């Protein structure tokens, strides 16, 4: 933004000319949106992208109305614990998770030792996010982040910021910005990291020098453990402890290194169940801002131990 004065007037005119040439091509041309010039300026002035490249990408992106519908009612906001349990705590997913643990035991144990996150928890996140990599998302991320970044009425600012992060991520990691796929909300790979999280918390854990959440299971395992650690995971924590409602107030920290104890109530088959969540519950809920999500991860991780 601070370099705005230096933006050459001629290139703006050139971009308008290009826009005019291609404008009959597409109903939603995101290079021509009210808010797009700010994104273009930031990518060009602050991050050194070629203006013509940014315009080409924005022009290529397609508006997908189904993403706007999905983001308006995300599963973690509309679904109850009973719904989550029915979807995620299934025999097949439990079996597949146990198989995943067996197949990746060395890496999982290395991550557990290094970050303090149990192998069952890392595996449960992979199970809930992508069914252990079998469903990494089929939307073009550029379509997601432009549709939501320019046309979502509530969170467009957040998604525009992710759009800028996605430009940076694809440049740094040599990904094809036109072809990279993910969820409707732009989450990518085995571990479903959004662009800013990918850049900040994903790590190379198979030692090839490249952070690849799309193809490397090891990188996904290390990255999930690293994400949880950075977001407050404690070796001594237990995620949740079942309790009686009368005990919730009296509950005290079970270990001095833990800083949070959160009263939680879930309804299961019409019955209210009470728990205390700790730092580890909160760390999982930072992965996906939802108590039922974190509970599903916990529950699934316990099933893997049986």
303 is catalytic: no
How far is 281 from 268, CA to CA, in rounded Å? 19
- Give the residue with the Cβ less far from Ca ion, 51 or 218: 218
- Give the residue with the Cβ less far from Ca ion, 65 or 172: 172
Contact 39, 120 (CB under 8 A): no
Contact 262, 303 (CB under 8 A): no
How far is 257 from 228, CA to CA, in rounded Å? 16
CB of 171 to Ca ion, least distance (A): 18
- Give the residue with the Cβ less far from Ca ion, 82 or 204: 204
CB of 211 to Ca ion, least distance (A): 6
Residues 6+ apart with CB under 8 A from 272: 245, 265, 266
How far is 191 from 194, CA to CA, in rounded Å? 9
Chain centre to alpha carbon of residue 69? 18
- Phi and psi dihedrals of 116, rounded to 5? 80, 5
How far is 15 from 292, CA to CA, in rounded Å? 47
CA 117 to each of CA 6, 122, 123, 187, 287: distance values in angstroms, whole numbers, following the listed order: 49, 7, 10, 22, 14
Alpha helices in the chain (DSSP H): 9-22, 36-41, 51-60, 65-72, 75-78, 81-88, 91-103, 105-115, 119-130, 141-151, 156-172, 195-201, 217-230, 279-287, 291-305
The CA angle 218-223-224, to the nearest 5 degrees, is 105
CB of 122 to Ca ion, least distance (A): 16
CB of 120 to Ca ion, least distance (A): 23
- Give the residue with the Cβ less far from Ca ion, 42 or 212: 212
CB of 201 to Ca ion, least distance (A): 14
Binding stretches for Ca ion (CB under 5 A)? 204, 206, 208, 210, 212, 216, 219
CB of 188 to Ca ion, least distance (A): 15
**Would you tell me how many other CB atoms lie within 10 Å of the CB of residue 66?**
10
- Give the residue with the Cβ less far from Ca ion, 162 or 212: 212
Shortest-Cβ-distance residue relative to Ca ion: 204
- Give the residue with the Cβ less far from Ca ion, 225 or 239: 225
How far is 158 from 186, CA to CA, in rounded Å? 12
How far is 84 from 303, CA to CA, in rounded Å? 15
- Exactly one of 129, 162, 268, 303 is catalytic; name it: 129
Catalytic residues: 129
């Amino acid at each position: 933004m601070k370099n705005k004065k230096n933006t050459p007037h001629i290139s703006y005119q050139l971009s308008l000319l290009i826009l005019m040439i291609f404008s009959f091509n597409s109903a939603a041309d995101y290079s021509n949106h009210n808010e797009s010039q700010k994104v273009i300026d930031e990518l060009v002035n602050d991050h050194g992208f070629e203006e013509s490249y940014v315009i080409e990408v924005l022009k290529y992106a397609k508006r997908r109305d189904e993403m706007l519908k999905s983001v308006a009612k995300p599963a973690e906001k509309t679904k109850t614990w009973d719904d989550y349990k029915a979807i995620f705590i299934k025999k097949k997913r439990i079996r597949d998770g146990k198989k995943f643990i067996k197949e990746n035991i060395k890496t999982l144990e290395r991550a557990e030792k290094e970050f303090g996150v149990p192998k069952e928890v890392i595996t449960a996140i992979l199970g809930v996010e992508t069914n252990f990599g079998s469903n990494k998302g089929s939307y073009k991320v550029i379509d997601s982040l432009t549709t939501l970044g320019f046309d979502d009425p509530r969170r467009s600012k957040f998604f525009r910021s992710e759009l800028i992060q996605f430009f940076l991520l694809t440049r740094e990691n040599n990904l094809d910005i036109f072809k990279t796929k993910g969820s409707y909300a732009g989450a990518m790979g085995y571990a479903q990291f959004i662009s800013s999280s990918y850049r900040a918390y994903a790590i190379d854990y198979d030692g090839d020098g490249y952070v690849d959440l799309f193809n490397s299971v090891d990188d996904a395992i290390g990255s999930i453990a690293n994400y949880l650690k950075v977001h407050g995971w404690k070796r001594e924590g237990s995620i949740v402890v079942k309790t009686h409602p009368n005990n919730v107030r009296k509950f005290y920290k079970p270990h001095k290194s833990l800083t949070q104890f959160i009263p939680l109530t879930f309804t299961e088959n019409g019955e209210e169940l009470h728990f205390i969540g700790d730092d580890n519950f909160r760390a999982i809920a930072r992965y996906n801002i939802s108590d039922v999500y974190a509970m599903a991860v916990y529950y699934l991780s316990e099933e893997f131990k049986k």
